[in-house]
Structures are given as C-alpha cells and as structure tokens.
Amino acid sequence: MMEPRNPGMSTVPQTAAAHTDSSTPAVEMDPVEYTLRKRLPRKLPKRRNDVYVNMKTDFRAQLARCQKLLEGGGHREICVHGLGLAINRAINIALQLQASSQGALQLAANTSTVELVDDLEPEDPDEAGEPMTRTRNNSAIHIKVFYPDPQ
C-alpha cells in the first residue's frame, strides 16, 4: 500500500537525512517535535469525464465545469468525486446539476474509504528524530451523474 512512489516528497530543506520508507517507527513519538505533512491522495484515475471536487476552487466554477461537460462536452455521464470535507460540495454539485436539468439527470452515488499517508518529519535536524509515515483513512464519495438510457 505504501509503495515508495514519492520518495522525493518527504525531503525538506532543513533535514539532510533522506527519508526512506523502510524507516521503522519504533521510536516513541513526541508530536510536538514533528512536522506533519500530508501527502496527496494516491492513485487518482482521470478520464475526461471525471471531476475531482476540492475546497479551494470556487464552487460556481466547479459547477459550471460539470455543466459544460454534460451539455457542451457531449458526455452522457460524468463522475464527481469528493474526499473528506469536499464530499459535501460534491453532493451539492451533483444535486444542483440534477435540479437544473429538470429531472433529466440521475445520480448514482458510491462511497469508499481512501487511505491517506502523512509524513512526520523532525522539526529540529539536530535531534535524533527519524522521519516516519502514518496512514489514516478518510471517506470519499463518487457520484455518477448521468442521463438514463431511454428504454
């Protein structure tokens, strides 16, 4: 699960020691002396009709993008993904799309758990702290917004 995919990510300017994934978290950790750094969620599939919702982009811009995909882009379905706090926004976008389509669009939501990796890096390079990683879980939602097939 923790493939050494981003080895360069965890090197910080002030720590000369290169971080390897083999470092064992045997030491008792004092959270004060570590910098917690969140890695990006791993493995994000991206098709043309995948939309990853975040909390940084303006909501209307993200909504407009979805609308463009469905109306202008000629997609019969798009997939709206949201992780953690962005779940709410993803749901909102999907429901807004559905509401503005006058019922033409349908929603199919799936939920999942995404494993996230945090890097713990010693604050002070002089102290003998080892870089560590810690995994945690976060919830995610994947909403398929689609025109149902006429049958």
How near is the Cβ of 32 to another protein at its closest, in Å?
A: 11
- From residue 52 to residue 71, the character string flagging contacts with another protein as x (rule: CB under 8 A) and all else as - is xxxxx-xxx----x------
Round to whole Å and give the CA distance between 130 and 25: 8
How near is the Cβ of 27 to another protein at its closest, in Å?
A: 20
Query: Contacts with another protein: how many residues (CB under 8 A)?
Result: 60
By the 8 A CB rule, do 141 and 61 touch? Answer: no
Rule CB under 8 A: say whether 136 interacts with another protein.
Answer: no
In 10 A of CB 149, how many CB atoms?
6
Choices 16-24, 125-133, 138-146; region in contact with another protein by CB under 8 A: 138-146
Across the beta sheet with 34-38, the strand order is 34-38, 106-122, 132-146, 77-83, 50-53
Rule CB under 8 A: say whether 111 interacts with another protein.
Answer: yes
> Who's near 83: CB < 8 A, 6+ residues apart?
41, 114, 138, 139, 140
Rule CB under 8 A: say whether 27 interacts with another protein.
Answer: no
Within 3-22, which residues bind another protein (CB under 8 A)?
5-6, 8-9, 12
In 10 A of CB 34, how many CB atoms?
20
Residues within the interface to another protein (CB under 8 A) = 5-6, 8-9, 12, 35-41, 43-48, 50-56, 58-60, 65, 81-89, 91-92, 94-96, 99, 106-113, 137-144
